[in-house]
Amino acid sequence: MSRYPSNHARKRLVTAAVAATLSVAACTPLGSGGSPAATAGGSPAGGTSQLTIATGGTGGVYYPLGGGIAEVIRDSVPGYDATVQETNASVDNMQLIGGGGADIAFTLADTAGDAVAGAGDFEGAPVSACALGRVYNNSTQVVTSSDSGIASIEDLRDKVVSLGSPGSGTEIIALRILEAAGIHPDTDIDRQQLSIDDTVAALRDGTIDAGFWSGGLPTGALTDYATTGDLVLLPTGEYAEAMAAAHGEFYVADTIPGGTYQGQDEDVSTVSVPNLIVVNTNMAEDLQRSITEAIFENKDRLVAVHAAAAALDPETAGDIAFMDVCPGARAYFDAP
């Protein structure tokens, strides 16, 4: 259970926002997100079925990589086209998968684990979802400016800090890092909730002191911020063990290599979390397999979209202990 009761109020706001999105989605034409065609595994007679991919903000990795996956589905899965949907990322995406507002979604592993178990932000409302596979690992990137005087998570006390967009996997990870560091997010910091693009803008204009981001390496918005020479990344890897003990073995200590961003010459320790691609369990098995095959057989195309896709590996993509791998995806991974 969370130590922070005010999270429940934020949860209700996020859930209401997602519910509004789902209400709109329910009025979309057949063939869009959550369509009967996606469920049945076939396109309308003589036509093309539209799939919706829930991603994240435009400054992260989910959105451009989702665009690449949409292209390979369009070219490699007969009878299907796909479009990307910008969202607040993991929590929103699992809500959309559960309610039929999206057909395919990116999500962090800890959020997915909570969703299928009906825990955390999904308490009492488990989501029927399965994984098409692991795609790459997210690195927790806590960014501040070189003139802030902040050198550690402990230094965030009494500072203005963005914990990520409401309904994002970044927010969940940020809260758990602060918990491990003994910092209360509602009393020990001035808490803000900004997207990665807005976090960078706020760092530039000095309205926040630091911001959390969980994303692939490099993240475009941070690459841009680093060109000013102001970017500093705070180490977080020391908290991975405590986070794993408290919340599940989604969290491991890792490294952001020196040179990932301009001016970041030294390695920085980080908390790493796997990313998954998920669908609702009602998607037809043959479509699950076709989408999985399209993604993993077009790795080179996806790497050209974003370097994070270099981690795609069908040998390990199905190694997921906390939720079911979709049977269609498993059939692809197990094929000789």
With a cut of 80, say whether residue 102 has pLDDT above it. yes
pLDDT at 9: 39
All structural domains of the chain, each given as residue ranges with its CATH number in brackets, are: 6-136+275-334 (3.40.190.10), 138-274 (3.40.190.10)
Residue 112, helix vs strand vs coil: helix
Closest CA to 135 of 305, 303, 276: 276
Provide the pLDDT confidence category of residue 12 given band limits of 50, 70 and 90.
very low
- C-alpha R_g of the chain: 19
Residues 92/105, Cβ–Cβ less than 8 Å: no
pLDDT of 2 > 60? The answer is no
Q: Can you say whether residue 97 is alpha, beta or left, with left for phi > 0 and alpha for psi between -120 and 50 degrees?
A: alpha
| Percentage of residues in the chain having pLDDT higher than 90 | 80
Contacts 24+ apart (CB under 8 A), 254-263: 254/137, 254/139, 256/139, 256/141, 256/217, 257/217, 260/217, 260/218, 261/218, 261/222, 261/223, 261/226, 261/231, 261/233, 262/223, 262/226, 262/227, 262/229, 262/231, 263/226, 263/229, 263/231
- In the structure, what pLDDT confidence band is assigned to residue 167 with cuts at 50, 70 and 90? confident
Task: Catalogue the E-assigned strands of the chain.
Answer: 49-54, 80-85, 104-108, 129-145, 160-162, 190-192, 210-215, 231-234, 252-256, 268-280
Residues paired with residue 134 on neighbouring β-strands, in sequence order: 276
Reported as a single tens digit per residue, the pLDDT across 253-307 is: 999 999 999 999 999 999 999 999 999 999 999 999 999 999 999 999 999 999 9
Find tokens 């093309």 and name the residue: 48
The answer to whether the CB of 93 falls within 8 A of the CB of 84 is: no
Query: For position 21, what pLDDT does the model report?
Result: 39
Question: Based on the number of CB atoms within 10 Å of its own CB, is 148 exposed (0-12), middle (13-18) or buried (19 or more)?
Answer: middle
Would you state the pLDDT for residue 298?
98
Amino acid symbol at 209: D
- Does residue 209 contact residue 155 with C-beta atoms inside 8 Å? no
Amino acid occupying residue 49:
S
Residues 61, 64: Cα–Cα separation, whole Å:
6
Mean pLDDT value of segment 107-126: 95
pLDDT at 249: 86
In this structure, the dihedral spanned by the alpha carbons of residues 260, 263, 266 and 268, taken in order and rounded to 10 degrees, is -60
Confidence tier at 168 by pLDDT (50, 70, 90): confident
pLDDT, one tens digit per residue, over 188-203 is 999 999 999 999 999 9
* Rounded Cα distance, 47 and 95, in Å: 28
The predicted-structure confidence for 22-73, as pLDDT tens digits, reads as follows 333 333 333 334 454 566 455 555 589 999 999 998 988 999 999 999 999 9
CA-CA distance, 181 to 175, in Å (whole number)?
A: 10
Nearest to 217 by CA among 109, 320, 314, 310: 310
Would the pLDDT of 324 be above 90? Answer: yes
Share of the chain above pLDDT 70, in %: 86
